[in-house]
Each structure stands twice: as structure tokens, then as C-alpha cells.
Structure 1
Amino acid sequence: KEIAGRDFHNLLTISILKGSFIFAADLIRAMHDAGVEPDVEFITVSSYGKGTTSTEVRLLRDIDSDVKDRDVLLIDDILESGKTLKFVRELMIERGARSVSIAVLLDKSVRRKVDLDADFVAFECP
């Protein structure tokens, strides 16, 4: 409902694969039920080095849509270090997105490594 209440212009949702696909499907379905019908894209990035230590972020699969002058909603399952979402957010801004918002299922702010906050959070985790 909170997302549907925003005045988005030509909304494009971009789901961060693979972790977000179930949350993204549920969220986009709820958006449709609230009268919001965004275009849907998927992007694959990797921010993990050896083990679970986050290193550099790499783009593995890009989106097909042009984001210029569009509102973009990035969807991910967990916002933890923030490196992955910051990378994708900056990429969309560089490509001319009108705005970039972030929706996450879980926010683990105590593990944040970069200055980044989600606009829409379902649950906060310690």
C-alpha cells in the first residue's frame, strides 16, 4: 500500500536475482492488486568473494529495458552490507533513471558497510 501511494512515473521494478525472486513476485502481485502495474526486469550481480566476505560487486546479467527518465524500484530480499544495492542503484542513476527507490524484505542495518537505506522495509533484523 505504501508503494502504491507513491506517485511513480513509468515505474520499472528490477529484482536482484536470485534471492529476491519470491519476495519480488509477492510484492509485484500486491502492487497489481493495489492498481500499480510496473514493468518488471531482473538483474544478476555478485558481491561475494571467497566464503561470505563481501568483496567487489560484479554485474553478471544486465536488464534489457532503458531506465532513462523512469522511476525505478529495486527489489531485494536482504539489505545487509549494502554494497550490491548501492552498486545497482548507482548504475541506474548513471543510466538516467528519474528516481531509484529500494524495497527489501529484511533490513540488517547493523551489518551495513556503505551509506545506504531502503525506502520500503518489510522487516528489520538485528
Structure 2
Amino acid sequence: MNISLHDKRFEPYIKEVAIQNRISAIAEQLSDDYRGKRPLFISMLNGAFWFTADLLKSFTGDCEISFVKYRSYQGLQSSGEVMQSLGIDVDIKDRDVVILEDIIDTGRTLSVFLEILMQHQPGSVKIATLLIKPETLQFPLVPDYVGFEIPNDFIVGYGLDYDGLGRNLRNLYVLEK
């Protein structure tokens, strides 16, 4: 069923069951990769909060969680500027860090955050993202865990929004063409 948010129409794209299955697979892989360790998961707010919650419910080891908030989107497009609202508030020196991201589009936000993160001297850094748009990537980022590779379409739902609306949708929706 198609939906309307503000002045735009969206059609179904990826169903919740497929999202949950993929997140469970990523959580299993992370659990294996960090067996016997205590990683610090850093969730990129606001969009990654659903991905983070579902992933950590399936992670089987000890872990810690922290949140940061950076944004670069206004409406349907990236503003080109990365703005920080909430920064790193825990000691990450020599820690195994896993960044949890909802979507990697151009990679600008994550690239800026990684520069800041590296100043805190983590022991290791891995990236897990629910979605990536390989054709729009402008920064040399290679996530270690990827839910879905998608084309350059505007997506809402499952934590992603269009001007504040749509984050609460259980499925992912794509902008109608």
C-alpha cells in the first residue's frame, strides 16, 4: 500500500520481515566476530535507532552502547554540511568500536564522524549499516557489515524520515517516480 508524507508519495520497497532477517544475520556475524570481547556500539541518531535496537536484541555477547547525533539531510537532499548535535561522551581509547548507521549515501556524515572518532584512539573500528547506496558514495568508505545495497532512491521508514515523518514505519518505502 502506498503512503503519503508531507507532499510526497511513497511505495513499498523492503518488507519488515526481510529487514529483520538481514539484521539477524548481521547480529550473528557480529556475535561471532566479537566473541569474548566487549565491543562499544555507537549508534548514529536519529535514523539508526531502529536498526540499533533490533541488532542489539540479537547480539549474543557482552557489549556497551552509546549514541551520537550528526545530520546532513534537509528534505530530499543532503545539505552538504554535517552538523553535530550530540558527540562522543564515553572513553573509547583502545576499545573495539562498531558504528551503527541507518544509511550510507554520499558517506559525508560518516566520514566526518570517523575523523573525530579516530582522534579518540579506538583499538579498532568497524561499520555496520542497514543500507548503502554504492553509486552515490563520494568518500572512501567500505562498511564491514551491510544489510542491503540499494540504488540512488529516496527511502523512508524503519528509522529513515522525510522531514521528520516516516521513521515509525515498519517497512521501507521508496519515493514514487
Moved over 6 A (4+): none
Q: Give the TM-score normalised by the residue count of structure 1.
A: 0.88
C-alpha distance in 2, partners of 1:123/1:50? Answer: 23
RMSD after superposition? 1.7
Q: 2:52 aligns with which of 7, 20, 24?
A: 24
Measured after TM superposition, the shift of residue 49 of structure 1 is 6.0
Code of the residue aligned with 2:97 in structure 1: it is V
- Does the aligned pair in 1 maintain the 2:45–2:69 contact within 8 Å? yes
* Pairs within 5 Å for 1:1-126: 1-7=28-34, 9-31=37-59, 35-48=60-73, 52-126=77-151
Give distance in 1, aligned partners of 2:120 and 2:136: 28
Q: How far, CA to CA, are the matches of 2:129 and 2:76 in structure 1?
A: 23
| Pair 125,51 (structure 1): closer, same or farther in 2 beyond 3 Å | closer
Ranges in structure 2 where 5+ consecutive residues have no aligned partner:
1-27, 152-177
Measured in 1, the distance between the counterparts of 2:131 and 2:137 equals: 13
Q: Is the 8 A contact 1:49 1:55 kept in 2?
A: no
Give the secondary-structure state (helix, strand or coil) at the position aligned to 1:4: helix
Q: Deviation digits for residues 13-33 of structure 1, max 9, x if unmatched?
A: 0100000000110011111xx
Instruction: Give the drift of 1:63.
Output: 2.7
Q: Cα distance, 1:109 vs. partner? A: 0.8
State the identity as a percent.
Answer: 35
Larger Rg: 2
How many residues are treated as equivalent by the alignment?
A: 123
How does the TM-score come out when normalised to structure 2?
0.64
| Amino acid in structure 2 at the alignment position of 1:6 | D
